[in-house]
């Protein structure tokens, strides 16, 4: 018998997502940390791919390189969804099961904090490896310049702009996760997540876990002195992560609470 390719109804998809989130909340600390580190690395690999795409942005009309960067960045979430990993931004959807009484608030909060820290560790580890590999020197330094330009842009935004950008970014990311859960094959999952991810990256929105790689990597390139200096600072990186994280929490929770309100009964 061939497996059906019929798309799940919204109500059924909501049940699927909430069931997966409940399983995530039950993970023990050890596996959660390992999978969190992997997610930080995977999203960072998407950021690396996007930075390479942006290295040629000057030769293209505005928007073309940005969309290309968004398309290739989807590698990160595809790895998370198919290979399996624990991603903070996707896990903000736990707000839905918490509101529905399916997951205790304390358990969800503990899971989010643990995954956030593990994501950060994985992302910074990748940034160090990428710097050590000398990829910032590729294209006669074009990759390093693209990383610095991106980092300077992100750390130059106001708190309000970062917060709003973080909300929009994680609405798109969580919708990408949501639709990926509706796919049965790798191709279907990629088709579900591709456009929302491409949209948030192309628009320059703020994803806290992506920034855990992009900003430390740009700072390391700046410290290496192999590209023009910018005004990036550790304080600016911290401010970006605080604001984008808060925005991501709101954006992800909004998606889960909306669908939970419509389709899940307490």
Q: What is the CATH number of the domain that holds 187?
A: 1.20.1080.10
Residue 1 within a domain: no
Give me the number of domains the chain comprises. 1
Rama region for 140: left / alpha / beta (φ>0; ψ in -120 to 50; rest)? left
Average pLDDT over residues 255-263: 97
Residue 105 within a domain: yes
What's the domain range around 102? Answer: 10-18+27-263
Residue 5 within a domain: no
Residue 72 within a domain: yes
Does residue 225 sit in helix, strand or coil?
coil
Q: What pLDDT is stored for residue 62 in this prediction?
A: 86
Residues near 266 by Cβ (< 8 Å), separated by ≥ 6?
100, 101
The answer to whether the beta carbons of residues 111 and 94 sit under 8 Å apart is yes
Residue 2 within a domain: no
Residue 98 within a domain: yes
What pTM value is reported for the model?
0.94
- Output DSSP code: residue 216: H
Q: Residue 190: pLDDT band by 50, 70, 90 thresholds?
A: very high
- The string of pLDDT tens digits covering residues 105-157 is 999 999 999 999 999 999 999 999 999 999 999 999 999 999 999 999 999 99
């Amino acid at each position: 018998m061939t497996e059906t390719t019929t798309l799940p109804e919204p109500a059924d998809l909501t049940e699927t997502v909430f069931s997966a989130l409940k399983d995530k909340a039950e993970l023990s600390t050890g596996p959660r940390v390992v999978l969190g580190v992997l997610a930080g690395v995977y999203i960072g690999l998407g950021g690396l791919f996007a930075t390479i795409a942006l290295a040629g942005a000057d030769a293209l009309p505005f928007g073309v390189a940005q969309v290309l960067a968004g398309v290739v960045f989807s590698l990160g979430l595809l790895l998370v969804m198919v290979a399996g990993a624990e991603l903070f931004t996707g896990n903000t959807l736990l707000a839905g099961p918490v509101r529905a009484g399916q997951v205790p608030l304390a358990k969800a909060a503990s899971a989010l904090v643990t995954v956030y820290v593990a994501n950060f560790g994985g992302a910074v580890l990748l940034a160090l490896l990428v710097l050590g590999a000398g990829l910032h020197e590729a294209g006669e330094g074009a990759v390093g310049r693209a990383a610095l330009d991106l980092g300077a842009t992100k750390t130059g935004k106001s708190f309000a702009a970062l917060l709003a950008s973080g909300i929009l970014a994680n609405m798109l990311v969580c919708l990408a996760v949501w639709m990926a859960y509706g796919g049965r094959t790798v191709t279907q999952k990629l088709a579900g997540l591709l456009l929302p991810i491409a949209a948030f990256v192309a628009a320059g929105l703020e994803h806290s876990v992506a920034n855990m790689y992009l900003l430390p990597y740009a700072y390391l390139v700046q410290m290496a002195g192999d590209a023009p200096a910018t005004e990036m600072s550790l304080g600016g990186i911290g401010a970006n992560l605080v604001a984008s994280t808060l925005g991501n929490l709101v954006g992800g929770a909004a998606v889960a609470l909306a669908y939970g309100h419509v389709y899940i009964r307490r």
